[in-house]
Amino acid sequence: MKNLHCFQHVKWNPDRAELRSFAIAMLVGFGILGAIAAVRGGAIVDASKLLWSAGAIIAICAPIPGLGRAAYLAVYLPASVMGWMVSHVLLTVVFYGPFTIIGALMRLTGTDSLMLRLAPGETAWRPAKPPGAEQSYYRQF
């Protein structure tokens, strides 16, 4: 399981400092999520209470030696899998989406931007531009 690409950065045996920062992150993160749920609901709703409770429980479990590692891995492992999947799906969509659409449109319209299609008997040679005046070499841009 440790050899899977999405788990390469997991600290399987977190130290006390890592567990402390994890507990703080859970308190802050779930506190913000609970506040967002309260603002959306117009009052303190059940969702915000649930999020605040989850953050508090995870933060309380983090410093306890055996339970801290379990809480850390229970949060970190699913988050690593989701992050790996989302990043790969997003990068695939961002990369293939525009290029596929642009390529299909260019093929449908018959556009040959690279001038790769040659008529029979035509050469790929393109005439060079004549050189400019000597002064243009000093002002290239």
- In DSSP notation, 61-125 reads HTTSHHHHHHHHHHHHHHHHHHHHHHHHHHHHHHHHHHHHHHHHHHHHHT--TT-----TT--S-
H/E element, 40: helix 16-41
pLDDT at 93: 93
Give pLDDT, residue 98. Answer: 93
Q: Provide the whole-model pTM.
A: 0.57
Residue in 26, 46, 27 with CA at minimum distance from that of residue 37: 46
CB 82 within 8 A of CB 7: no
For residues 33 and 48, give the distance between their C-alpha atoms in angstroms, rounded to a whole number. 7
Asked if pLDDT for residue 6 goes beyond 80, the answer is no
**Closest residue by Cα to residue 50 from 64, 67, 63, 33:** 33
At 116 the pLDDT is 80
Q: State the pLDDT at residue 2.
A: 59
pLDDT at 135 over 80: no
The rounded distance, in Å, linking the Cα atoms of 101 and 94 is 11
